Amino acid sequence: MNSDEMEIIYETHKNTVYRTAFAYLRNSSDAEDITHDVFVKRFTTDITFENNEKEKAWLITVTANKCRNLFNSSGYRALISSVQIDDVNLIGETEMSSPVFDAVMKLPEKYRLIVHLYYYEEYKISEICSITGKNESAVQTMLYRARLKLKKILGKEFMV
């Protein structure tokens, strides 16, 4: 793979990978580190994809796995428990500075990724299952519970 191909892949998917990592970790520095690691893995792995969507799904899967690994590490948990991290205001993109996005960031970690993939990345439930390794009923249940929690957080002004 030459540098032009790498640049096209990076430019096409960098925002998706970053947003996914940020939705999982709620920390811009860690999301940037994960984004870097994901693209290093992409460019050092000899793999071809039949289309752009398959590549995007692979990148999101790798992102979710790297986030889980970081999140589950004892050093990271010790750091998070000792420091209050609130990077939501550091995000410059309009969709990531709305009351709804702020509410999504307040969800427990297990719901954030599912909500992000479903609403922000517009994946179908079956696609989320293959990305996360969860079965369809688990994803549906998590999405349902996340919606209930979002209704509580957002209040009546966001009820449709």
1-43 pLDDT, tens digit per residue, is: 788 999 999 999 999 999 999 988 888 888 999 999 999 999 9
Q: What is the pTM of this model?
A: 0.69
106-138 pLDDT, tens digit per residue, is: 888 889 889 988 888 888 999 888 888 889 999
What is the overall mean pLDDT for the chain? 81
Residues 94 and 108: their CA atoms lie apart, in Å, by: 22
Residues 71 and 69: their CA atoms lie apart, in Å, by: 6
Which H or E run includes 138?
Answer: helix 136-154
**How much is the pLDDT for 122?**
86
Q: 159 pLDDT band (50/70/90 cuts)?
A: low
Residues 67 and 131: their CA atoms lie apart, in Å, by: 13
pLDDT over 80 (residue 98)? no
Give CA separation, 141 vs 113, 115, 116, 145, in Å.
14, 12, 15, 6
**Percentage with pLDDT > 90 across the chain:** 36
Q: What angle do CA 116, 121, 125 make, to 5 degrees?
A: 75
Residues in Cβ contact with 15 at an 8 Å cutoff, skipping those fewer than 6 apart: 93
Q: 76 pLDDT band (50/70/90 cuts)?
A: low
pLDDT over 50 (residue 154)? yes
**How much is the pLDDT for 89?**
38
